[in-house]
Amino acid sequence: MTPSDRKPDLSAQIAQAIRDAIVEGRMIVDERLPSEAELADQFGVSRSTVREALKRLAAQSLIRTQRGAFGGAFVNRLSYQEAYGQHITTSTLLLSMNDVRFETACEARYAMERACAPLAAERRTPRHLSMMRTEIERQATASLSDEDFCASDVALHRALVDAAGNPVLSYQLAGAVEAMQPLMNMITFTARSREEIVALHKKLVDALDTRDAAAADTALHSLESYTLTLGRDVLAARARRSATA
């Protein structure tokens, strides 16, 4: 009855049928799907329609295709790498297209980072610490552009997340952290604010170094409120500009 529940395309229906089979485990990883011609027969549609369905599934990394004899479409083992990529694309678009407030995204990001701070404090390796310290040094470089500063910030926080040693957590948080980058990029980081951030980053790494979960939590809270202040200033300045213009 609603305008959106009209029957979808044949290719969408077929894609959904195969997707269900994969998600419900009726088809297992690396299993070969019937050839396009066979699928066309089975579903009673043309090969073009089947191909469109398969392309939909390929776009979600559910299948991969191989040409040639004994080729075909195979159920794809979804790798963390592929899942990361999709999650980041989706999260970035979700934020940019829905006018998500800076405060909201910032809050979500730091809430999630705090979630992995205790685990990171427990499990961080020397490699994690040195990676984070390398980024902090880079951030102290005066000649760094705002964009590069942001990128380094993301790299540091990514290291924090990875230090928790839980790939599922890393996957889930990658989207939140990376998707924030475009929002962060609109901030102009003054020399003063960079100093402040670098100091807080140092506190954070030192806390992880000494396995002090509480101190790490505090550092992240400080970082959140400071980032929030910076973001608010930018938005306020922008609002003033548009009011006078």
The residues that touch a copy of itself, with contacts defined as CB under 8 A, are 11-12, 15, 19, 22-23, 25, 29, 48, 51-53, 55-60, 62, 77-80, 83, 86-87, 89-98, 100, 104-105, 107-108, 111-112, 114-116, 118-119, 164, 166-169, 171-173, 175-176
Span interacting with DNA, options 39-47, 87-95, 172-180, 223-231, rule CB under 7 A: 39-47
**Partner that binds at residue 171, options a copy of itself, DNA, none, CB closer than 5 to 8 Å by kind:** a copy of itself
Nearer to DNA, 34 or 118 (CB): 34
- The Cα–Cα gap between 61 and 69 comes to 22
- The Cα–Cα gap between 195 and 198 comes to 5
- The Cα–Cα gap between 42 and 72 comes to 16
- The Cα–Cα gap between 184 and 227 comes to 9
CB of 64 to DNA, least distance (A): 9
Cβ-based neighbours of 166, under 8 Å, separated by 6 or more: 116, 119
Q: For 230, phi and psi rounded to 5 degrees? A: -60, -45
Under the binding rule (CB under 7 A), the answer on residue 2 touching DNA is no
Under the binding rule (CB under 7 A), the answer on residue 56 touching DNA is no
**Partner that binds at residue 214, options DNA, a copy of itself, none, CB closer than 5 to 8 Å by kind:** none
Q: How many CA atoms lie within 13 A of 10 on its CB side?
A: 12
Q: How many CA atoms lie within 13 A of 224 on its CB side?
A: 19
Q: Which pair of tokens denotes residue 3?
A: 């305008």
Span interacting with DNA, options 7-15, 76-84, 99-107, 184-192, rule CB under 7 A: 7-15
Nearer to a copy of itself, 136 or 179 (CB): 179
Nearer to a copy of itself, 82 or 196 (CB): 82
**Partner that binds at residue 140, options a copy of itself, DNA, none, CB closer than 5 to 8 Å by kind:** none
Site for DNA in 138-157 (CB under 7 A): none
CB of 147 to DNA, least distance (A): 34
Sign of CA dihedral 6, 12, 18, 21: negative
**Partner that binds at residue 129, options a copy of itself, DNA, none, CB closer than 5 to 8 Å by kind:** none
**Partner that binds at residue 10, options a copy of itself, DNA, none, CB closer than 5 to 8 Å by kind:** DNA
Residues at the interface with DNA (CB under 7 A): 6, 9-11, 33, 35-37, 44-49, 51-52, 54, 65-73
